[in-house]
């Protein structure tokens, strides 16, 4: 019953967001405009326009355990980016590089699943993508454990409440749990909603009050794609645009 309730809740959220319309979130005519906006607020900077690479080249560089960051253009995800002061709002982990192209495991609506790299990147606005890699090389056994840990989490319903302690999943929690279980490396910073929203005074709380049916769970613990992206336990092997 809880799973069906979450599905109905997400549908209601989608309806509310469509009624709110785009003006409540920053809109950019170009990437240059986005850069200027983010500079003015000290947010994580996009890369220069010249940093492009083809998906096949990116695919050949990937390893199991690599973290793929994208920017979902759907309205609720835009609000996540704005609240976390980062361009990225969705993330997945590479679990297989043996086929025609790498396979990315992700927690997404309505349930967690696997997605081919090209399809995963295609969901990103302007095909913006960054690829993070843990600072130490993973063993073959750890690679197998990453695939196993991901697969046992497939089919789990998406948690629209972004609760680190719920029965559901969301993208940054999914990646964090998979890597921690498989490698004992715990990535990302656990924060409360109070921590996140107080760090960005520009955040419009009206959206989040609607999202949480009138009451923001200030003490709820969560994990964000932004905190994974900035984690010192990993480094970026690519940060740009795919073509």
Domain span holding position 116? 2-242
Q: Which residue has the higher pLDDT, 81 or 198?
A: 81
What is residue 55's predicted lDDT score, i.e. its pLDDT?
95
Give residue 49's pLDDT: 52
The two three-digit tokens of residue 127, written as one number: 């095909």
Predicted confidence (pLDDT) per residue in 4-54, tens digit: 444 445 555 554 444 444 333 344 444 444 443 443 344 444 455 558 999
> pLDDT value at position 41?
41
The per-residue pLDDT for 48 is 52
pLDDT, position 215: 93
pLDDT of residue 204: 80
Whether omega before 191 lies within 30 degrees of 0, making that bond cis, reads no
Contact between 85 and 199 under an 8 Å Cβ cutoff? The reply is yes
pLDDT at 205 (0 to 100):
87
pLDDT per position as a tens digit, 176-216: 999 999 999 999 999 999 998 888 777 788 889 999 999 99
| Predicted local confidence at residue 10, as pLDDT | 54
What is the C-alpha to C-alpha distance for residues 197 and 203, in angstroms, rounded to an integer? 7
Residue-wise pLDDT for 106-165, tens only, equals 999 999 999 999 999 999 999 999 999 999 999 999 999 999 999 999 999 999 999 999
CB-CB contact of 98 with 201 (8 Å): no
What are the angstrom distances between the C-alpha of 68 and each of 23, 89, 113, 161?
Answer: 29, 11, 15, 22
For the chain, what is the domain count? 1
CATH assignment of the domain containing 141: 3.90.1720.10
- pLDDT score for 76: 86
**How far apart (Å, rounded) are the C-alpha atoms in residues 151 and 91?**
16
pLDDT of residue 58: 96
Residue 152 phi, psi (nearest 5): -75, -10
CA distances from 25 to 30, 51, 193, 203, 205 (A): 15, 26, 19, 10, 12
Read off the pTM.
0.82
Residue 186: predicted pLDDT: 97
127: nearest Cα among 171, 72, 79: 72
Q: What is the pLDDT of residue 71?
A: 96
């Amino acid at each position: 019953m809880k799973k069906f309730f979450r599905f109905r809740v997400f549908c209601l959220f989608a309806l509310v967001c469509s009624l709110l319309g785009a003006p409540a979130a920053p809109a950019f005519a170009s990437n240059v405009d986005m850069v200027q906006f983010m500079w003015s607020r000290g947010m994580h900077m996009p890369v220069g326009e010249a940093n492009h690479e083809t998906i096949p080249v990116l695919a050949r560089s990937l390893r199991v355990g690599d973290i793929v960051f994208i920017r979902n253009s759907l309205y609720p995800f835009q609000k996540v980016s704005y609240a976390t002061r980062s361009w990225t709002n969705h993330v997945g982990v590479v679990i297989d590089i043996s086929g025609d192209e790498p396979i990315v495991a992700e927690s997404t609506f309505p349930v967690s699943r696997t997605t081919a790299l090209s399809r995963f990147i295609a969901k990103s606005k302007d095909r913006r993508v960054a690829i993070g890699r843990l600072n130490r090389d993973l063993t073959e056994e750890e690679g197998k454990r990453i695939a196993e840990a991901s697969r046992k989490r497939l089919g789990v319903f998406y948690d629209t409440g972004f609760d680190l302690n719920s029965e559901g999943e969301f993208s940054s929690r999914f990646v964090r749990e998979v890597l921690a279980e498989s490698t004992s490396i715990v990535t990302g910073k656990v924060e409360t909603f109070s921590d996140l929203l107080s760090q960005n005074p520009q955040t419009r709380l009206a959206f989040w009050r609607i999202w949480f049916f009138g009451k923001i769970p200030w003490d709820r613990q969560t994990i964000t794609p932004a905190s994974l992206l900035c984690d010192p336990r990993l480094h970026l092997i690519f940060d740009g645009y795919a073509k």
